[in-house]
Amino acid sequence: MTQARTTVGIAGAGIMGRLLALRLQHAGHQVTLFDRDPIECGSAAAYTAAGMLAPYTELESAESLIYELGQRSLSLWPDIVAQLDAPEVFHSGGSLAVAHGQDAADLEHFNQLLARKLPGEPGIAFLDRQGLAELEPELAPQFGNATFLAAESWVYTDTLMAALADTLQANGALWHSQCEVSELQAKLIVSANGRHHFDWVADCRGLGAAEDLPGLRGVRGEVIEVYAPEVSISRMVRLMHPRYRLYLVPRANHHYLLGATQIESDDTSEISVRSALELLSALYAIHPAFAEARIVATRTNCRPALLDNQPLVRLEEGVLQVNGLYRHGYLLAPAMAERAQHLLDATQSSVKQAI
């Protein structure tokens, strides 16, 4: 007799919900997703993110845990991409940290931090202008040196979100889109279209879980997408600056994503004049040819963050909660999905032992 597959209901189909679903589906479980938005677009922070997978750069402001989970995720991404019919989503060209002359101390400070936290790490190279010119010729006139972080990568977020949805559905996932979830309990999801019973229930609603997760808050971020046919930069660039950290993430066909502000607020209204001025003037200083770039889009959203800015995965009254991915959703989600699966597996085997 064949054993019935474990059923899993997942509330929230942002990046965390989709990657958890993919992992559990791959392990042989029957997954069902619920999201208040359509499958192909929506309010998820995942649609605003730049998609940087930058554990080294994040060491500047984040705990070592983020670095460790980020490294684990980097090692998991190739297997994830191999399951999708979209090889172009993942980019592994590395990143460059740069600073203008007057801000050289910020880059030096970052370099010292890397040396202290990651002594002898082979994936870090300190480049002079010549070395930078070999990697990114168009940056060398503006910057006398740079720090190259070879393992850092990035994903095309919109393409990835779409590819995940396609693969999940092609492999049998059920998807309740435009379907608000109002309640989660052990083995039960209550949504706009009824009560649904599962063996396991997971809450991946990001900020939508605020009522059930005390301390969860939004941290506003703004990004600008530009089209710059006169600029050819193929790697991520992080501009060190005393007041803000600007990054530039290449997209296809001379499009670049520029971000991101970080403001303690859950306001998702349009980008402010101040943020736009700061981001765009920094962009122009990275490469003067950005002066003729076209602004294609501006986007604002809030990152789901807990008080300690650390990610959370736990079983709470029979509900698996995965949240608090803050500014690292893409960086952390593969490793968080792995941890979540281990938690569920451990629970299942302890139940079996008890029986």
Ligand X SMILES: Cc1cc2nc3c(=O)[nH]c(=O)nc-3n(C[C@H](O)[C@H](O)[C@H](O)COP(=O)(O)OP(=O)(O)OC[C@H]3O[C@@H](n4cnc5c(N)ncnc54)[C@H](O)[C@@H]3O)c2cc1C
Letters for 262-301 (x = contact with ligand X by CB under 6 A, - = none) are ---------------------------------------x
Q: Which residues contact 115 (CB under 8 A, 6 or more apart)?
A: none
Letters for 173-212 (x = contact with ligand X by CB under 6 A, - = none) are -------xx----------------------xxx-x----
Shortest CA distance to 105 belongs to which of 212, 241, 302? 241
The answer to the question of residue 42 lying near ligand X (CB under 6 A) is yes
- For residue 82, what is the enclosing H or E element? helix 64-83
Cβ proximity to ligand X, 206 vs 250, nearer residue: 206
The answer to the question of residue 66 lying near ligand X (CB under 6 A) is no
Amino acid letter for position 246: L
- Residue 335: CB atoms within 10 A of its CB come to 21
Among the listed ranges 59-67, 119-127, 165-173, 326-334, the one in contact with ligand X (CB under 6 A) is 326-334
Cβ proximity to ligand X, 108 vs 180, nearer residue: 180
Give how far Cα 167 sits from Cα of 154, 156, 158, 175, 208, Å.
20, 16, 14, 12, 25
Size of the site for ligand X (CB under 6 A): 42
Cβ proximity to ligand X, 146 vs 179, nearer residue: 179
The answer to the question of residue 334 lying near ligand X (CB under 6 A) is no
Residue in the structure block whose two tokens are 């803000």 = 244
Shortest CA distance to 153 belongs to which of 112, 130, 123? 123
Cβ proximity to ligand X, 94 vs 208, nearer residue: 208
The answer to the question of residue 259 lying near ligand X (CB under 6 A) is yes
Quote the DSSP letter at residue 89: G
Q: Residue 297 is encoded by which pair of tokens?
A: 């889009």
Among the listed ranges 1-9, 31-39, 227-235, 269-277, the one in contact with ligand X (CB under 6 A) is 31-39
* CA–CA dist 180, 336 (Å, integer): 24
Cβ proximity to ligand X, 12 vs 287, nearer residue: 12
The answer to the question of residue 52 lying near ligand X (CB under 6 A) is yes
* CA–CA dist 84, 206 (Å, integer): 24
List of residues contacting ligand X (CB under 6 A): 11-17, 34-37, 42-46, 48-52, 180-181, 204-206, 208, 221, 223, 259-260, 301, 303-304, 323, 325-331
